[in-house]
Amino acid sequence: MYDTMIAGSRDSKLAMWQTRWVEEQLKKSLPAITVHIKSVKARGDKILDVPLAKIGDKGLFTRELDNALLAGEIDFAVHSLKDLPTEMPAGLTIAAVTKRWDCRDALISRQGLRLNDLPAGAVVATGSLRRQSQLLAWRPDLKVCDIRGNIQTRLRKFDESDWQAMILAVAGLERMGLGERITQKLDFDIMLPGVGQGSLAVVCRADDKRLIDRLAVVEDRESRLMARAERSFLNALEGGCQVPIGAKADVNGRELRLRGFVGSVDGQTTLRVEIGGAADEARELGRNLAREALNKGAGDILDLIRGKE
């Protein structure tokens, strides 16, 4: 059973690279299997002239693959974990969370200028409200412009623009062999990553126990615990692409530390919270940290943002 599998992927270069990487990891443990990759264009890859926050679609990068799974057209799908909604569609499950890559955000700048060295008024491109909020909280004298598209498209737009800098994920750049474009990997004191950033999620039908068992060979326990805590935090805050929320979990043996960020779009009002506890209670830690954030005013920040949409 499942000597041949059909994997679903978005059709971008990065998504295809990630799906092939999962295929390679599967074959290390299951050398007899054959994996065919079926690519689709997600709605989020088609709408490039509207900021992500204004589209407001939780399945923006996943729905087409979800539908293909539920229709039996593919056996599993590979996603960047940060793109998955915190509540999975009925009938689907995250069968595996892969080992987390470097989850920091990367500054790409002209003349090799680091974030603190950018001149006042410098324009920094990002398509993420989370990055925008934390950037402006650190450097309120900077200006932000929106950018959409895949990594290659964003780099081309940057090279053709007069922007001074741009922010992308370290993991995506390095997976594409573009690590040399990185000027600075931003410390977590400056910018907490997106929930799940740096890990891949392998999704399949929830009732396909045999396939779930097979996909478990690419699972990384610590990365799963990190994801569980971060996604629980985001879920309890009812967040998504539309709101500036960041989180970073760290697992040390049986202990888990979770840091969270909530901020206004302009970065003028921000909140950082932190909690620690048993790693096997990751989900509860995420909920508790969200509760603490709400008690400290996160709800007011989020209500203001949502009221403007």
Closest CA to 179 of 106, 252, 275, 245: 106
Token pair recorded at residue 198: 């740096």
What's the CATH fold of domain 235-307?
Double Stranded RNA Binding Domain (3.30.160)
pLDDT interval class at 219 (50, 70, 90): very high
Inter-residue contact 59 to 28 (CB < 8 Å): no
- Tell me the C-alpha distance between 223 and 246, whole Å: 16
> CATH classification of 105-185 is 3.40.190.10, yes or no?
yes
SS3 state at 35: strand
pTM of the model: 0.92
Q: Do domains 4-100+199-219 and 235-307 have the same CATH topology?
A: no
Helix (H) or strand (E) holding 303: helix 298-307
Q: Which of 45, 75, 83, 105 is flagged as catalytic? A: 83
- The number of beta carbons lying within 10 Å of the beta carbon of residue 49 is 6
User: What pLDDT does 306 receive?
Assistant: 81
pLDDT at 151 over 70: yes
The answer to whether the Cα torsion of 180, 181, 183, 185 is positive or negative is negative
Q: Which of 259, 227, 4 is nearest to 95 (CA)?
A: 227
The closest of 160, 147, 154 to 172, measured between CA atoms, is 154
Could you please state the CATH topology (level 3) that the domain comprising 4-100+199-219 is classified under.
D-Maltodextrin-Binding Protein; domain 2 (3.40.190)
What does the domain layout of the chain look like in residue ranges? Answer: 4-100+199-219, 105-185, 235-307
Lowest-pLDDT range, 2-11, 198-207, 212-221?
A: 2-11
Residue 230 pLDDT > 80: yes
What's the DSSP call for residue 178? -
| Residue 268 one-letter amino acid | Q
Instruction: Give pLDDT tens digits for 279-307.
Output: 999 999 999 999 999 999 999 999 988 87
83 catalytic per annotation? yes
> What is the rounded average pLDDT of the residues 143-158?
94
297 vs 50, more confident: 297
State the pLDDT at residue 86: 93
Give the Å distances, CA to CA, from 188 to 93, 120, 138, 159, 258. 30, 22, 12, 27, 12
Residues 16-49 pLDDT 10s: 999 999 999 999 999 999 999 999 876 554 444 4
Return the minimum-mean-pLDDT range out of 112-121, 145-154, 188-197: 145-154
Distances (CA, A) of 186 to 3, 167, 245, 271: 43, 9, 16, 18
User: For residues 14 and 83, what is the distance between their CA atoms, to the nearest angstrom?
Assistant: 13
Nearest to 231 by CA among 275, 280, 195: 195
Q: What is the mean pLDDT of residues 170-190?
A: 98
Q: Cβ(202)–Cβ(22) under 8 Å?
A: yes
Q: What per-residue confidence (pLDDT) applies to 55? A: 45
Burial of 192 (0-12, 13-18, 19+ CB in 10 A): buried
Confidence of residue 62 (pLDDT cuts 50, 70, 90): confident
Indicate the pLDDT class of residue 309, thresholds 50, 70 and 90.
Answer: very low
